[in-house]
Amino acid sequence: MSPKQFIVLMVCLTAISGFSQITLGSRRAVHDSATGDWLCSVPESTFGTDFTATFNTSDPWTDITIDGESVTSGSSYTFAQVAGDKKYALVAHIGDSVTITGNICFTFLPIFEFTGTFNDDYQITEIIANLPQNQGPTTMLSKLKHRGGSTNGPTRLKRNYHIKFLDADSQKMDRKFFGLRSDNSWILDAGQIDMLRIRNRVCTELWLDMCRKPYYSGQEPKALLGVRGDFIELFLNGQYNGFYALTEAMDRKQMKLAKLETDSAGVNTFHGMLWKAKVSDGIVRMTSAYGYNNNNDTWGGLEVKYPDPDDVMPTRWKTIYDATRFVATSDNTTFRQQVANYFDIPIIMDYWIFINAIHGVDSGVKNIYWGVYDEVDDKKITLAAWDLDCTFGQNWVNVPLHNESVVGPTVPTSPINNLFLRLHELSPDSFSVKAVERYQLLRQGVLSEESLKQRFHNRLDPLDRAGALARETTRWSKSTDIARQPLDFPSELEYIDGWIDLHMPYLDNGRFSPYVKGDANRDGVVDVSDLNKVVGEILRGETPMWYEDMNDDDKLDVSDINAIVNIILGKV
């Protein structure tokens, strides 16, 4: 696309919005065709103070008033004590028959404007970014599409978007937001089904704060196992579309995986590899490992993400196949001895604690990125967290709202990947004992009740002060995306606070309570109830948990019963 074509495109796309904007100084006030209001982004420091700016409009308006005070285009006006919940009534006339009415409102969040036609394929799109720290708007060219799995169904309304920024010649162009990485690829997360809209952002930040460095951090100290971002407000073809989290993309660059090498003959040498768990099947659950085809970009429910199959095909599945097959088929002894050769155990341990702490009902199997730094040197696989909206009492669906049988604070997290379950059940290298110790350490900091609750408050309070919560409620309350439930941010925040207060003690006294050999029901003592539980498991032919297997022979039998009886009788 030539610069001239780009300019023509900008003019044509801008015309689609249909309603001329006003400016306050050089700041653009964006018109919402649904409410008739204008929204202007200013620095947060402006809030609580008087804001004086030159009012301008290109429309032939006459008899203009703001809050009853007469103004003219080009004149100065002072907006008294700017606040997110404050509206300044604007009235104007065009000729003798047209009256313009609406309100001028303010936010300190960035405002993005999308103009164009959007679907599941990338479309050339104009984006106007109105940033609070900038005096004027920034116009950017991009290609943009809907993104997501179940959130991208034909009946969904508040869509997620994937943005790839372009220059005037339609080539990749990096952009930088919020002081984060400079890249052409960015995600807009709608929080579509989330009754608080911010769970994904809060949980990802929690993960980044609590997880340790991956095994290759010595080579790549800036590697991140999650994405960062912040909130913006979005207008879509002239209509307010709510607030979104603008985040980095999860990719090779974020995890700092080694790049593919291609020699002069066009032969590829694979180094870093990245796969995403998208569909919950036997492959993704690591309970089966049938054959793969390197000419396919999927293997079961896994999808290859790097190298990009659009650029490199055939791909290479062997490393993730070998690891999955090991988890699915290895006997208990082999698993204990070799699992650390296949997986980044400290990260796996932290994620095990994490998904239990947040009750990630959609994160124990799916929504995981599996990556290897450089399979030529070390085939060990680590992971990155993604898509964490079904957490802290939020289900995939909102009927019933807060389904206690699925997402209640005292319901075990399920489903869980077979890797995590076998590590927990077999405890190689004292995995389970170390996980309890790690959990107890984290409970003194990022996993304390107050710290968890404060994360939600810290993220929600600025959105409230900026007026974004009220605008989101007006736009999306009782939407079909949330099963026509009303958006009630104070009530949902109160629910999460109470949920945390019940859930963390539940974990303290359950999954992450200290281990006692022979304590089959994990209540802290060895007694007849444990004996009965083990007898029942023997009769059912169940595989023992490591702390029930009293003689460490990977089976339950009379010798284990006798050992427990001796503990009860005080003979040990």
Q: pLDDT digits over 145-165, tens only?
A: 998 877 777 778 999 999 999
237 pLDDT more than 90? yes
5 pLDDT more than 70? no
Mean pLDDT of 175-199: 96
Whether the Cβ atoms of residue 342 and residue 335 lie closer than 8 Å to each other: no
More confident site: 96 or 317: 317
C-alpha to C-alpha distance for 278 and 285, rounded to whole angstroms: 11
Q: What is the pTM of this model?
A: 0.94
Confidence at residue 58, expressed as pLDDT on a 0 to 100 scale = 84
Which residues are CB-contacts of 253 (< 8 A; sequence separation ≥ 6)?
Answer: 181, 183
Q: Give the SS3 label for residue 369.
A: strand
* Residues in a beta bridge with 227: none
Give, in degrees to the nearest 5, the angle at Cα 486 between 483 and 488. 130
Phi, psi at residue 417, to the nearest 5°? -55, 140
Mean pLDDT of 559-567: 94
DSSP state of 520: T
Q: Which of 338, 108, 350, 318 is nearest to 209 (CA)?
A: 350
What structural domains and CATH numbers belong to the chain?
3-107 (2.60.40), 144-253 (no CATH), 255-508 (no CATH), 528-568 (no CATH)
Residue 19: pLDDT band with limits 50, 70, 90:
low
Confidence at residue 135, expressed as pLDDT on a 0 to 100 scale = 82
* pLDDT, tens digit, 9 for 90 and up, residues 33-90: 999 999 999 999 999 999 999 999 988 899 999 999 999 999 999 999 999 999 999 9
- Which DSSP string corresponds to 387-404? ---S-TT--SS-SSTT-H
For the chain, percent of residues with pLDDT exceeding 70: 96
Q: Is the N-terminal amide bond of 409 cis, ω within 30° of 0?
A: no
Which residues are CB-contacts of 525 (< 8 A; sequence separation ≥ 6)?
Answer: 516, 519
C-alpha to C-alpha distance for 174 and 168, rounded to whole angstroms: 13
C-alpha to C-alpha distance for 379 and 23, rounded to whole angstroms: 56
* pLDDT, tens digit, 9 for 90 and up, residues 515-556: 999 999 999 999 999 999 999 999 999 888 999 999 989 899
C-alpha to C-alpha distance for 523 and 510, rounded to whole angstroms: 8
Confidence at residue 1, expressed as pLDDT on a 0 to 100 scale = 39
What are the C-alpha distances in Å from 555 to residues 146, 337, 459, 544?
51, 17, 49, 6
* pLDDT, tens digit, 9 for 90 and up, residues 245-272: 999 999 999 999 999 999 999 999 999 9
Residue 12: pLDDT band with limits 50, 70, 90:
very low
The region of weakest confidence among 104-108, 128-132, 147-151, 490-494 is 147-151
Q: Which of 411, 384, 435 is nearest to 546 (CA)?
A: 435
Whether the Cβ atoms of residue 47 and residue 108 lie closer than 8 Å to each other: yes
